[in-house]
Amino acid sequence: MARLPVYLQILADQAAAGVANISSEGLAELAGVNAAKVRKDLSYLGSYGTRGVGYEVDYLVYQIRRELGLDHDWPVVIVGAGNLGQALAGYGGFTDRGFPVAGIVDIDHDKVDTLVGGARVRPLDELPQIVAAKNVSIGVIATPPAAAQDAADRLVKAGVTSILNFAPVVLSVPVGITIRKVDLAVELQILSYHEQRRASAQGGQLHAVPNEPGRGVTA
Amino acid sequence: MARLPVYLQILADQAAAGVANISSEGLAELAGVNAAKVRKDLSYLGSYGTRGVGYEVDYLVYQIRRELGLDHDWPVVIVGAGNLGQALAGYGGFTDRGFPVAGIVDIDHDKVDTLVGGARVRPLDELPQIVAAKNVSIGVIATPPAAAQDAADRLVKAGVTSILNFAPVVLSVPVGITIRKVDLAVELQILSYHEQRRASAQGGQLHAVPNEPGRGVTA
DNA sequence: CGAACAATGTGCACAGATTCACAAGCTGAC
DNA sequence: GTCAGCTTGTGAATCTGTGCACATTGTTCG
């Protein structure tokens, strides 16, 4: 389930805040989802909570980490040292959460040997060596669209089995390779879709409904 | 539907390549989804294709753009000029696709007035003026987790109605505000989950199944 | 003009996810 | 020890989304 990381995030926060136990309802509230859903998700994990009390935060964190494979680090290699690649390499959030940057490569020789976020950019050709040396199984594609498929091919050939793709293209990879795509422009387009609907709804009805003052949690 | 932007992307590529008509099957192939799904999605749009021929690419692009509200630009304001904020501001993909950066603000006065991607960082206090002056309705949060809720509150107060949140926290906003969250670490955790399953599956069964050589499109 | 062909649009059935509601079980107080 | 109060875990109903199959309709060729 794609919600486990969200729970994990919240639980880690709670643990840091000194909370020892949490109920499914409390966790649901914080995650902005239904309480029954939380229980189903956690029961699927096999993790046992205690009836009448709730879940022990530390134990739950341990269980989710284990399930997600976060009991050890997963080095990642970044292909493309442009704006986005540099930001990702420099973004502390990766290393902090168990995904150290094993290396960053670029095809442009002008970028090679420049320093970004503590790592030195290596030439694209060295990708296989980096993957082999650091035992990398996750690759990140931060190249322009036109170069993304080639980057994917090279990553797969080098032995990477999971790819996070930031380029706005649909990649074709052998079966057995896991791909996730994050397209920033698509996210904005979805927002603009909502804005559009908002605008036409207001234009359509004469008596526009003002935003209610209530607060809701939106994940 | 969240698939429209993907179709749009592909259709724009096809249009640029000189393709005039496309069938639901062709589009489905390129998007890595089912053909019936494509037809359902497009029929929901009200867009009419021609039976026996397919869809006219240009017209479809126009229709989807219209539906998504992409017939005009949507200026965005970025809160947080750290690693990620700077990359986003400098990332050409935003402006190119109709989301020009109206401004970027940061609470840190040392960052104010520095140049990132052609824009000058403004102090956080000027957020309301920027939003009002450029008629911004979309905000992007690229702050550290602890500052994200404050950023959201300020954006809403300034009049922004849609927020793209890169901080790994669940934000609480008034109903009527649209939020989308992109958590890079969560994406990696989902990949590590698959890696974990892969590893335990291989360890579990003595005769590991090698990756099939076939190719599949994975979105 | 008519018939064969091609591709859309949609009714229907199915699968998966979500939510409700409740029985089962733990805790703590008297 | 028993009882009241919570909270989990899960069966059942529901809803959403997906995919198949086919009738419908436009095109093209003879």
- Average pLDDT (A190-200) is 89
Whether B141 maps to a domain, the answer reads yes
- Give B135-193 pLDDT, tens digit per residue: 999 999 999 999 999 999 999 999 999 999 999 999 999 988 999 999 999 999 999 99
A47 vs A157, which has greater pLDDT?
A: A157
Interchain contact B207–A (C-beta under 8 A) = no
Report if residue A198 sits inside a domain.
no
Other Cβ atoms within 10 Å of B51 Cβ, number: 6
Q: Can you name the residues that pair with A215 across neighbouring β-strands?
A: B174
**Has residue A212 been placed in a domain?**
no
Domain around A29: 4-68
d(Cα A22, Cα A56) in Å, to the nearest integer?
7
Residue B18 counted as domain residue: yes
| Alpha-carbon span B209 to B152, nearest angstrom | 48
Same-domain status, A48 and A89: no
What is the reported pLDDT for B212?
39
Q: Tell whether B32 and B114 lie within a shared domain.
A: no
Å between A50 CA and nearest CA of chain B: 26
Residues B47 and B82 occupy one common structural domain? no
In the prediction, which pLDDT does A214 show? Answer: 44
Contacts of A48 (CB under 8 A, 6+ apart): none
Under-70 pLDDT residues of chain B: 201-219
Predicted confidence at residue B133, as pLDDT, reads 97
What is the distance between the alpha carbons of residues A218 and B122, in angstroms, rounded to a whole number?
28
Q: Which of A177, A186, A211 sits opposite B175 (nearest CB)?
A: A211
CATH code of B124's domain: 3.40.50.720
How far, in Å, CA of B17 to CA of B20, rounded? 9
Q: Which two tokens stand for residue B63?
A: 């229709």
Residue A85 placed within a domain: yes
Q: Cβ(B69)–Cβ(B4) under 8 Å?
A: no
Q: How confident is the model at residue A218 (pLDDT cuts 50, 70, 90)?
A: low
What's the pLDDT at A206?
42
- For chains A and B, CB pairs below 8 A equal 237
Find the length of chain A.
Answer: 219
Which nucleotide is closest to the Cα of A27 by its C1'? D7
Interface of B with A in 73-92 (CB under 8 A): 74, 76, 83-84, 86-88, 90-92
**Chain B contact for A68 (CB, 8 A cutoff):** yes
CB contact under 8 A, B67 and A193: yes
Q: Please report the DSSP string for A140-182 in residue order.
A: EE-S-HHHHHHHHHHHHHHT--EEEE-SSS-EEEETT-EEEE-
* Count of helices and strands (H, E) across chain A: 9, 11
Number of structural domains in chain B: 2
Please indicate whether, in this complex, the C-beta atoms of A98 and B172 are within 8 angstroms of each other.
no
Task: Give CA B206 to chain center in angstroms.
Answer: 42
The nucleotide minimizing the C1' distance to residue A53's CA is: D7
Same domain, B33 and B93: no
Residue A17: strand pairing partners: none
Task: Verify that B102 and B159 share a domain, yes or no.
Answer: yes
**How much is the average pLDDT of A51-72?**
95
Residues A81, A180 within the same domain: yes
Same domain, B97 and B166: yes
Percent of chain A past pLDDT 70, that is, above it, reads 91
CATH number, domain with residue A61: 1.10.10.10
Residue B34 lies in a domain: yes
Q: Regarding beta strands A76-79 and A101-106, do their DSSP bridges make them parallel or antiparallel, or are they unpaired?
A: parallel
Closest to B76 measured CA to CA, from B126, B141, B124, B125: B141
Model pLDDT, residue A202: 63
Note the CA–C1' distance, A1 to C23, in angstroms: 27
State whether residue A44 sits within 8 Å of chain B by CB: no
Instruction: Write the CB contacts of A53 (distance below 8 Å, at least 6 apart in sequence).
Output: A21
Among B26, B50, B68, where does a domain finish? B68
- Residue B213, pLDDT score: 40
Indicate the DSSP class of residue A84.
Answer: H
**Whole-number pLDDT of residue A6:** 95
Query: Which bases of strand D have any atom within 7 Å of the beta carbon of a protein residue?
Result: 5-11, 18-21, 24-27
* CB nearest B170 (choices: A30, A183, A198): A30
In whole angstroms, C11 C1' to B142 CA is 46
- Residue A158, in any domain of the structure: yes
A97 and A174 both lie in a single domain: yes
User: Same domain, yes or no, for B138 and B165?
Assistant: yes
Of B68, B89, B106, which residue constitutes the final position of a domain?
Answer: B68
The whole-number Å distance from B131's CA to D23's C1' is: 53
B38 within a domain of the structure (yes/no)? yes
Average pLDDT over chain A reads: 90
Instruction: Check CB contact of A7 with chain B, cutoff 8 Å.
Output: no
